[in-house]
Structure 1
């Protein structure tokens, strides 16, 4: 690999779960090999990372449902980035298991409902199988 050039990119993000807004800074190394194939290596704080569109999670709540803004968007809209930094996920207080309420058991579905939904499905599948197999049986 031959070193090509490096560029710096800032990607603003918003979590679609908790609405936290933040910005990640990257260095992108653009490389070309002896055959002319190009590749990019993304670095965050000098460490190779996945590109920002691949597998990033919210630092506030850990969700993976994010959206990004165009570069420079937060500089033009500082009111979006005014939220304080979130508490890192590792420092979230741990609730002892004895303090967690047991899950509420779901009542079983009534048999009549299962029959009311299941019988039409079985009838439809049976008819489709019959309609498919009948012409085949008549040809032999």
Structure 2
């Protein structure tokens, strides 16, 4: 069973294939197990993640919806970015993306004064009274 999804953040549209197994438990109650690539997963309507941007704000369409609306599948699925690996050169004609280091600098800019203030207060509270006795 193929489920179509759309990311409400980046508007990426994709499909995922699921296999549904209907089983009976020991009490005779019917249950469903959803499989994706042979691995048990949550049902498609709960907790899907966009392969393009990683957002969890995703909606799903009825099965077969994309077959009736092929214009939604205009762009191919994006290649997921590697988590770790060697740096690669960008394809010809594309500018290299430079990652901003502002968060690290911001943490240093805020962290150093806070650490100095806390250190001084600890010194004033602990060491200064002991020196006066």
The question of a shared fold, defined as TM-score above 0.5 by the shorter chain, is answered with yes
- Residues 4-53 of structure 1 show CA distances to partners (whole Å, capped at 9, x for unaligned) of xxxxx211000000000001110000001242211111001111111111
Map of 1:88 onto structure 2: 80
Matches within 5 A, 1:67-78: 67-78=59-70
Map of 1:61 onto structure 2: 53
Map of 1:113 onto structure 2: none
CA RMSD, aligned part only? 2.5
Counterpart CA distance in 2 for 1:26 and 1:91 is 25
Counterpart CA distance in 1 for 2:84 and 2:76 is 16
Map of 2:95 onto structure 1: none
**Residue 90 of structure 1: how far off its partner (Å):** 2.3
Matches within 5 A, 1:15-34: 15-34=7-26
Matches within 5 A, 1:91-106: 100-103=100-103
User: What stretches of structure 1 move > 6 A for 4+ residues in a row?
Assistant: 91-94
Q: Does residue 29 of structure 2 align to residue 37 of structure 1?
A: yes
Counterpart CA distance in 1 for 2:21 and 2:73 is 27
Map of 1:130 onto structure 2: none
How many residues are aligned here?
Answer: 94
Hey, which of these two has a bigger chunk of strand by percent? 1
Counterpart CA distance in 2 for 1:85 and 1:63 is 15
Distance 1:89 1:55, change over 3 A: farther
Q: Which runs of 5+ in 2 are unaligned?
A: 88-97, 107-133
Distance 1:91 1:51, change over 3 A: same
